[in-house]
Amino acid sequence: MKSVRPITLNNTLSGKKELFVPLKKGKVTMYNCGPTVYDFAHIGNFRTYIMSDTIRRVFEYEGLKMKQAMNITDVDDKTIRRSLEEGVTLETLTAKYEKLFWEDMESLNILKPHKILGARDHVKDMIKMISVLLKKGIAYKTADGIYVSIDKVKNYGVLARLKIANTDSGTTGQANHEHGRIANDEYDKENPRDFAIWKFSANKDSAEEDETVAWNAPFGCGRPGWHIECSAMSIKALGKTIDIHTGATDLIFPHHTNEIAQSESATGKTFVNYWIHGGFMNVEDEKMSKSKGNFLKLADLVAEQISPIAFRYWVLTSHYRSQVNFSFDAVRAAQTALLKLCEEIIRWGEEEKIDTKAKTGKLKRIAKIAPDETYKKEFETAITDDFNMPQAVATMWKVTKDPALSPAEKKTTILDFDKVLGLRLADISTISTSPILKKEEIPLEVTVLAEARLAARLAKDWPKADALRAEIESRGFSVKDTEQGFTIEEL
Ligand SMILES: [Zn+2]
């Protein structure tokens, strides 16, 4: 077995790059804050899931065994509000958006976490945790719910570097709750307050008679707050202490801050050793918001002929912690680069065949070629240095341009890198159905063929152009010449 290369990562808790040391040698536990399924996820959310997928792929590439869990928030303020607005049950609403979420994840080639936990299925675990917090005097009851007293929590707000005045850090008997209380799941960082972990329903005594979403609990009928959901599910899936917890930076406060408060108060143990947070995404230089109409779904990109895999590739070209600006022009440029790479891979495949034929006189599987050592080392240096994917992508391009490597060596090296990049490059070289776009869209290799045909036309190589047209038509598409180049249509 190869020895594991040291992996460094930026830990939000310390604010520094640290050497990763797992709890159990050779194994990694990771929890990703999952989607709240009340609407489509937007492309900023998917950037964060591409980050966690990349982290998993890097660890696996380096020979560590991953156990990855993700929650589905299917009950909270947002889901309940939306189900009432749409006049559908919470189950109907969340089932619809959860299904769409996994479809988008699949088209981005994001690996499914080993454990997926729906919040509604784990209310029992949340009730148990709330009972412990009440018993320990960390949580208290009011008329509308159960709250965590932040004054009772040891080191409250460390992750977000909060400055809290007059806290007694749980050293005195009676909490004074002078920070006030907040029942909402989301609130402002400037205003840390006691937060709700359980919200009583109108009828506190019985879940059955209540028309809202509610569960019976020893402390009164109601429903969990968002923050307690992740604490209970992370512990349930992966244990009291885990290696890594991820999310976008906007989750540092209050969500992750409150997760730490609840979990560590309840178990008395460190909740998470390494916190990893992904940077923010603007769209065309503006913050994404529904009112501005720049709230982009993956389907909006596909409608603009941008492949989800091209979006993934574009995401990998900036560091996960940096703030990025999405623009259609930038992603189109990334798609063009990716198409070029696919073209190269197809060409290498062809050259490899010709090469083999010349040597053996017949088409035969060539001997297994290993990835190029020097580039592999360079690639691994990048990915194990706080998941430096832009650097890793740069190394990949260096491979494509190195005249010292044979086509077969290039192809083998790049397909090896693709275990981490996740660009489905292994599919592009062989299959005739679409590896990158969904079926109803134009497959990437058809576009590649059409581009090759355009090049042949410009070079006035008519036989080649005709052969390529036949090739495109054999895949169920027609190509028409235009002044700008070509258009492709389904036959
Ligand atoms: Zn969460």
* Ligand 1 centroid from CA 331, angstroms: 29
* Ligand 1 centroid from CA 152, angstroms: 22
CA proximity to 352, closest of 394, 398, 415: 415
CB atoms within 10 A of CB 118: 18
* Ligand 1 centroid from CA 33, angstroms: 4
* Ligand 1 centroid from CA 27, angstroms: 22
248-270 tens-digit pLDDT: 999 999 999 999 999 999 999 99
Higher per-residue pLDDT: 477 or 323:
323
Q: What is the separation of C-alpha 173 from the centre of its chain, rounded to a whole number of angstroms?
A: 43
Q: Give the residues across from 179 on adjacent strands.
A: none
* Ligand 1 centroid from CA 98, angstroms: 16
Q: Residue 292: pLDDT above 80?
A: no
* Ligand 1 centroid from CA 256, angstroms: 7
* Ligand 1 centroid from CA 391, angstroms: 30
DSSP reduced 3-state for 10: strand
Who's near 93: CB < 8 A, 6+ residues apart? 37, 38, 79, 82, 83, 86
370-410 tens-digit pLDDT: 999 999 999 999 999 999 999 999 999 999 999 999 999 99
* Ligand 1 centroid from CA 277, angstroms: 12
Show the tokens assigned to 397.
Answer: 């391009």
DSSP reduced 3-state for 444: helix
**Measured CA distances, 199 to 71, 101, 189, 196, 437 (Å):** 20, 27, 21, 7, 44
* Ligand 1 centroid from CA 143, angstroms: 26
Quickly state the pLDDT bin for 36 (edges 50, 70, 90). Answer: very high
pTM for the structure as a whole: 0.84
* Ligand 1 centroid from CA 238, angstroms: 14
Q: Specify the amino acid at residue 426.
A: A
* Ligand 1 centroid from CA 295, angstroms: 22
* Ligand 1 centroid from CA 127, angstroms: 17
75-132 tens-digit pLDDT: 998 999 999 999 999 999 999 999 999 999 999 999 999 999 999 999 999 999 999 9
Q: Are 424 and 462 in contact (CB under 8 A)?
A: no
* Ligand 1 centroid from CA 292, angstroms: 27
* Ligand 1 centroid from CA 82, angstroms: 19
**Can you tell me the distance from the alpha carbon of 202 to that of 347, in angstroms, rounded to the nearest whole number?**
67
Q: Residue 150: pLDDT above 80?
A: yes
* Ligand 1 centroid from CA 74, angstroms: 12
* Ligand 1 centroid from CA 141, angstroms: 23
* Ligand 1 centroid from CA 42, angstroms: 17
Burial code of 297-307, b = ≥16 C-beta within 10 A, e = fewer?
bbeebbeeebb
Give the count of alpha carbons within 13 A of 447, CB side only.
20
Share of the chain above pLDDT 90, in %: 66
**Can you tell me the distance from the alpha carbon of 25 to that of 388, in angstroms, rounded to the nearest whole number?**
23
Burial-class residue 134 by CB neighbours within 10 Å (0-12, 13-18, 19+): middle
431-444 tens-digit pLDDT: 333 344 444 467 77
* Ligand 1 centroid from CA 491, angstroms: 46
Q: Residue 216: pLDDT above 90?
A: yes
pLDDT score, position 437: 40
* Ligand 1 centroid from CA 264, angstroms: 15
Q: Residue 158: pLDDT above 70?
A: yes
115-125 tens-digit pLDDT: 999 999 999 99
**Can you tell me the distance from the alpha carbon of 413 to that of 375, in angstroms, rounded to the nearest whole number?**
8
Q: Residue 179: pLDDT above 60?
A: yes
Show the tokens assigned to 127.
Answer: 């009730």
* Ligand 1 centroid from CA 39, angstroms: 17
Show the tokens assigned to 72.
Answer: 């589905």
* Ligand 1 centroid from CA 350, angstroms: 48
**Can you tell me the distance from the alpha carbon of 28 to that of 24, in angstroms, rounded to the nearest whole number?**
7
* Ligand 1 centroid from CA 259, angstroms: 8
Q: Are 5 and 220 in contact (CB under 8 A)?
A: no
pLDDT score, position 359: 58
Q: Are 195 and 258 in contact (CB under 8 A)?
A: yes
Q: Are 395 and 379 in contact (CB under 8 A)?
A: yes
Q: Residue 239: pLDDT above 90?
A: yes
Q: Specify the amino acid at residue 315.
A: V
CA proximity to 442, closest of 343, 330, 304, 314: 304
* Ligand 1 centroid from CA 153, angstroms: 19
Quickly state the pLDDT bin for 165 (edges 50, 70, 90). Answer: low
* Ligand 1 centroid from CA 227, angstroms: 6
Q: Give the residues across from 10 on adjacent strands.
A: 17
* Ligand 1 centroid from CA 258, angstroms: 10
